């Protein structure tokens, strides 16, 4: 998969490297600001009550 993405990026090595880093930064930003906040209420990690 990564090879396919790398082969389809245009330009020489330096341009490909900058574009690849921009794609990684975009994916991380999308996860941190959209996906994770949406999924947080659905996860059971906040349920910390104990029963006796």
Rounded CA separation 40/38 (Å): 6
Domain contains 47: no
Domain contains 17: yes
pLDDT the model gives residue 21:
96
Whether 4 and 16 have beta carbons less than 8 Å apart is answered as no
- Domain span holding position 12: 2-41
Please tell me whether residue 7 adopts helix, strand or coil conformation.
Answer: helix
Domain contains 32: yes
pTM exceeds 0.85 for this model: no
Which residues of the chain are under the pLDDT cut of 50? Answer: none
Nearest to 16 by CA among 2, 33, 36, 31: 2
pLDDT the model gives residue 42:
82
pLDDT the model gives residue 18:
96
The number of folded domains in the chain is: 1
Domain contains 48: no
């Amino acid at each position: 998969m990564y090879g396919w993405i790398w082969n389809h990026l245009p330009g020489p090595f330096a341009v490909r490297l900058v574009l690849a880093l921009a794609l990684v930064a975009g994916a991380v930003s999308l996860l941190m600001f959209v996906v994770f906040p949406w999924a947080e209420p659905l996860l059971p990690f906040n349920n910390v009550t104990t029963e006796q």
